Amino acid sequence: MEDFIVAAVKTVIAFALLFTVVLLLVWIERRIVAFMQNRLGPTRAGPLGILQTLADGMKLLFKESMTPDRVEVWLYLAAPIMALVPAVLIFLVVPIGAPITIGGTEYTLQVTDLNVGVLYVLAMSSMAVYAIALAGWSSGSKYPLLGSVRSAAQMISYEAAMGLALVPVIMFNGTTSLAGIVEAQGATYFGFLPAWNIVLLPSFVVFVIAMFAETNRAPFDLVEAEQEIVGGFHTEYSGFRFALFFLAEYINLFNMSALTVVFFLGGWQGPVFGPTVLQWILPVIYFFAKTFAIVFLFIWVRGTLPRMRYDQLMGFGWKRLIPVSLAWIILAMIAVGIRRFGLPWA
């Protein structure tokens, strides 16, 4: 029973945390992109405009949600839910801080530590494809259909590259549990260099590029190429149904940044000192600082790079990223083999 209460409390906290982070994230993105374009961005709602996202959400709640007459109603209504649910589920396995001990009981700052964490993450990010494919198909309109078919092909292509990029990480750390991967990055080289998985540089680069494509962000945001397919898969959605897709997109953005930090940048690892309370708080601060650095990278790229053409996108995924990650797996495999088992003929 106590386990159940702990699980329920952690789940609710994680849910609330995700939504708070997303409210901040949308505001941060709009402000930073505005500064990059010599504008101010939202400044009116709340101090520095920080409540702008909340205001937009409330506005969308009061807006009419039309159901066009050509749609397949049940799938059309299910698609926004199917977009949001996998997005919130991924965050469950992300460890946001070091385990803390209160009154003899150890609590992990992670909702649940699945031993198949990496597979769970990949499975959940595949589920997002269903929402987009069904939203486009059930809308009964040509632009959503084109957008969703494109997007589905793009997401599954880059997901293959993403999975391949994670194989060397697992070889290196010997576990698929996310807490285990962070734990394994706690060591140091020469006593001061942190032993983060970023030493697997090709994996890191492939993962980050695939991450941009998975979250449908610039320069791979062909899903919403306005000149060609209007709004893409959510053209026929309005009101709060659209807001749910929007929320899912930003939750995914945060999740993917957090996962990059967990897999390659040492998660919550960092120098810890001082009294016990500070030792609990510092890892959480490190985790969020690293995650928001990756989020900034996302925004920076959006403000800098133009959108790719579709044939360039698919060509890049299949003809560059996948061969590179395959070659890198073979190289990493041989290097790890020599390090752990010596030369094969010795």
Partner 1 sequence: MDLAAYLPVALMFILGVVFAAAAMLISWRIAPNNPSPEKLAPYECGIVPLQEPVERFPVKFYLVAMLFVIFDVEIIFLFAWAVRMDEFGWAGIASVGLFMLLLIETLGYVWKRGALDWNVASRARYRRVVAPEPEIEEAA
Which residue from 23, 135, 164, 324 is in contact with partner 1, where contact means CB under 8 A?
A: 164
Coil vs helix vs strand at 68: coil
**Shortest spacing between CB 166 and partner 1, in angstroms:** 8
Which CB, 15 or 296, lies closer to partner 1?
15
How far is Cα 327 from Cα 171, in angstroms, rounded to an integer? 15
User: Residues in the chain, how many?
Assistant: 346
232 forms part of the interface with partner 1 (CB under 8 A): no
Which residue from 92, 135, 208, 308 is in contact with partner 1, where contact means CB under 8 A?
A: 92
The footprint of partner 1 on residues 16-55 (CB under 8 A) is none
Task: Enumerate residues 6+ apart whose C-beta is below 8 A from 60.
Answer: 239, 240, 242, 243
Which CB, 91 or 280, lies closer to partner 1?
91
64 forms part of the interface with partner 1 (CB under 8 A): yes
x-or-dash pattern for partner 1, window 123-162, by CB under 8 A? Answer: --------------x-xxxxx-xx--x--xx--xx-xx--
The footprint of partner 1 on residues 168-187 (CB under 8 A) is 168, 170-171, 174-176
Q: Map tokens 């001082």 to a residue.
A: 274
Which CB, 36 or 60, lies closer to partner 1?
60
Which residue from 40, 119, 201, 293 is in contact with partner 1, where contact means CB under 8 A?
A: 119
Which CB, 32 or 251, lies closer to partner 1?
251
2 forms part of the interface with partner 1 (CB under 8 A): no
Task: Enumerate residues 6+ apart whose C-beta is below 8 A from 58.
Answer: none
- Residue 225's nearest CA partner among 279, 298, 343, 146 is 146
Q: CA-CA-CA-CA torsion for 88, 94, 99, 102, nearest 10 degrees? A: 0
Q: Which residue(s) pair with 114 in the sheet?
A: none
Q: Which residue(s) pair with 240 in the sheet?
A: none
How far is Cα 250 from Cα 256, in angstroms, rounded to an integer? 10
Q: Map tokens 């001061």 to a residue.
A: 192
The footprint of partner 1 on residues 242-281 (CB under 8 A) is 243-244
- Residue 270's nearest CA partner among 294, 252, 291, 253 is 291
Sole window of 29-37, 44-52, 201-209, 309-317 interacting with partner 1 (rule: CB under 8 A):
309-317
295 forms part of the interface with partner 1 (CB under 8 A): no
333 forms part of the interface with partner 1 (CB under 8 A): yes
Q: What is the DSSP letter of 115?
A: T
Sole window of 27-35, 208-216, 273-281, 336-344 interacting with partner 1 (rule: CB under 8 A):
336-344
